[in-house]
């Protein structure tokens, strides 16, 4: 509906650089208690509460409500994606985290009225960055092993470590890969990761036969435990 478009994209879009709107937003969030301790987490949590943002709304029925909500959710995604270059801020305990984050982001007009971002690319980049960080943690290793014990697809007949590892890498849900939105870009990045790991693993293939394993473990678990010992592989 044109009314929703007029309210969200035009009326609301024009007010985001207005000091009076910003003052209202800061007043709205001033008493908000935040659980997150970083800029991205705080901003993401604040965006979930639509009432904080003084977005124009008219009671014009269900059709208006549906279109309004779509436009508002799109706005949330866009401002969050545009804010990424400015997430590097240390939050103190001297004032509310919400106020610190929004004051910080208000200093960058391009966060609020900048060009559109390809959110499909943005979310995939976020997922891959998170995945890269979690692969350094022992908890990730433990969770992968737990999935291997339970995953029927991980039952392997081959005793060839190269074939086994390549096959296990192809079962992408074994690896706990974050997925905000599954799309062709996400799958392309996963395929790239799988190929990179596979190529880097070649220098370790010959050592598998001399690796001390627990005989009671399934072959798939033995293979992954073996490669997990080489940190630079991951």
- Reported as a single tens digit per residue, the pLDDT across 51-91 is 999 999 999 999 999 999 999 999 999 999 999 999 999 99
Confidence class for position 1, pLDDT limits 50, 70, 90:
low
Collapsing DSSP to helix, strand or coil, 157 comes out as: coil
**Look-up of token digits 């997990």:** 228
Closest residue by Cα to residue 196 from 128, 118, 124: 128
The pTM of the full predicted model, rounded to 2 decimals, is 0.80
- The confidence score (pLDDT) of residue 204 equals 93
Q: Which long-range contacts (CB under 8 A, 24 or more apart) does 101-106 make?
A: 101/39, 101/42, 101/43, 101/46, 102/25, 102/26, 102/29, 102/43, 102/46, 103/26, 104/39, 105/39, 105/43, 106/22
Query: Based on the domain organization, do 193 and 171 belong to the same domain?
Result: yes
Tens of pLDDT, residues 121-167: 999 999 999 999 999 899 999 999 999 999 888 888 777 899 999 99
Query: Based on the domain organization, do 109 and 128 belong to the same domain?
Result: no
Question: Can you tell me the mean pLDDT for 100-123?
Answer: 94
Round to the nearest angstrom and report the end-to-end CA distance of the chain: 49
Query: Based on the domain organization, do 43 and 68 belong to the same domain?
Result: yes
Last residue of a domain, one of 61, 93, 116: 116
Our measurement of the distance from residue 76's CA atom to the centroid of its chain's CA atoms, rounded to an integer in Å, reads 15
Percent of the residues in the chain that have a pLDDT greater than 90, as a whole number: 73
Query: Based on the domain organization, do 111 and 17 belong to the same domain?
Result: yes
What's the structural domain count of the chain?
2
User: Is the pLDDT score of 47 beyond 90?
Assistant: yes
C-alpha distances out from residue 101 to 33, 94, 96, 153, 233, Å: 13, 13, 9, 45, 37
Query: Based on the domain organization, do 79 and 131 belong to the same domain?
Result: no
Query: Based on the domain organization, do 227 and 138 belong to the same domain?
Result: yes
Query: Based on the domain organization, do 184 and 223 belong to the same domain?
Result: yes
Query: Based on the domain organization, do 58 and 125 belong to the same domain?
Result: no
Query: Based on the domain organization, do 207 and 166 belong to the same domain?
Result: yes
- The confidence score (pLDDT) of residue 4 equals 87
Supply the range of the domain harboring residue 159: 120-233
- The confidence score (pLDDT) of residue 5 equals 87
Last residue of a domain, one of 86, 116, 146: 116
Query: Based on the domain organization, do 209 and 224 belong to the same domain?
Result: yes
Query: Based on the domain organization, do 103 and 208 belong to the same domain?
Result: no
């Amino acid at each position: 509906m044109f009314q929703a478009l007029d309210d969200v994209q035009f009326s609301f879009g024009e007010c985001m650089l207005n000091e009076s709107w910003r003052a209202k937003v800061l007043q709205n969030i001033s008493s908000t208690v935040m659980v997150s301790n970083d800029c991205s987490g705080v901003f993401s949590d604040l965006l979930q509460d639509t009432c904080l943002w003084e977005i124009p709304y008219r009671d014009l029925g269900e059709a208006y409500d549906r279109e309004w909500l779509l436009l508002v959710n799109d706005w949330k995604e866009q401002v969050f994606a545009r804010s990424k270059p400015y997430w590097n801020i240390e939050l103190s305990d001297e004032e509310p985290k919400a106020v610190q984050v929004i004051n910080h982001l208000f200093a960058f007009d391009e966060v609020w009225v900048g060009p559109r971002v390809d959110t499909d690319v943005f979310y995939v980049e976020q997922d891959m960055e998170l995945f890269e960080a979690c692969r350094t943690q022992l908890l990730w290793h433990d969770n992968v092993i737990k999935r291997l014990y339970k995953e029927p697809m991980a039952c392997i007949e081959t005793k060839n470590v190269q074939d086994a590892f390549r096959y296990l890498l192809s079962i992408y849900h074994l690896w706990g890969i974050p997925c905000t939105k599954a799309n062709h870009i996400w799958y392309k990045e996963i395929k790239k990761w799988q190929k990179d790991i596979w190529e880097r693993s070649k220098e370790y293939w010959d050592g598998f036969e001399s690796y001390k394993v627990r005989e009671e473990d399934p072959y798939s678990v033995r293979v992954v435990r073996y490669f997990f010992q080489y940190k630079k592989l991951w």
